[in-house]
Structures are given as structure tokens and as C-alpha cells.
Amino acid sequence: MRFGVRKTAHVLERIGLAMAGAACGLFVGAHVGSAIPSLTTQGFLLLMMLLGAVGFYLGIDTPQLPFDAAHSQIDAAELLSSAGTLCATLASLASVAVIVLRLDPHDAATWLVFAGWIGGVAMQIVAGAKARMRE
């Protein structure tokens, strides 16, 4: 019984993380898509949401390496996961600020947000896959 509850709680947590990633992707897609005419499509929005959902599902809550003081090494998956989460959420925060405050940023800032988002979710996806392959 206890195992079932813990497993259910973990699944619900991961679904929540995926939904948060999709919401972040929606904000980034709305900001970038409205500033770059060639990216103003529903497909682009869906792609940004899908990348966010997969990235946040896999990249947050990655299994850690067991700590062994004699063989301490850098956990690349953990480092990639945390850096990717930071980049993706910063890009999302910037997008929300642009949308809510009705700012008109320079095109270079929009491309930087887009690159930060893509780089961040890519790091999360790679980190999550790497951490799960070593289990």
C-alpha cells in the first residue's frame, strides 16, 4: 500500500513538472512567435510546449549518483539538469515579463531568449536521458 501511494505521488509530481514546462514553453513560444514573423504558427507553439513538457519531465528530479567520498566525481547529469532548468526558466521569465509588461525588446534579445530556451530544454532532456541510462 505504501509503495503504491509513493509511486502515485511521484507520477503526479512528474505530470505537474511536465505541465509547468509546457506552460513555460507556451510563454516563450508566444513571445518569440509574436516577434519573429516566420515563427508565428500554432505548430511552433505546440513544439515549444512539447519541448518544455519533455524537458521538465526528464530533466528535473533526475536520479543522482550515489555519494562516495573515495571516488568523488562530477555528476554531469545533475550539472546539466540544473543549468538547463536555470536557462529554460530564465527564458520563460523574460518572456512573461515581455508579454505582461508589453515591452518591445530588440530582436537580438528575442533571439537570446529563444536560444536560452532551446539550450535549456536540450540540456534537461540530455541530462534526464543520461541519468536514467545509468540506473
pTM over 0.95: no
Q: Could you give the number of structural domains in the chain?
A: 1
Alpha helices in the chain (DSSP H): 2-35, 42-59, 76-100, 107-133
Q: Tell me what pLDDT residue 76 has.
A: 85
Domain span at 34: 2-63+74-133
Q: What pLDDT digit, counting tens, does each position of 104-115 carry? A: 999 999 999 999
Residue-wise pLDDT for 47-85, tens only, equals 999 999 999 999 887 777 777 665 567 788 889 999 999
Question: What is the maximum span of the chain, computed from C-alpha positions, in angstroms?
Answer: 55
> Considering the domain boundaries, does residue 30 fall inside one?
yes
Q: Is residue 69 part of a domain?
A: no
Average of per-residue pLDDT values in the chain: 91
pLDDT recorded at residue 60: 84
User: Is residue 68 in a domain?
Assistant: no
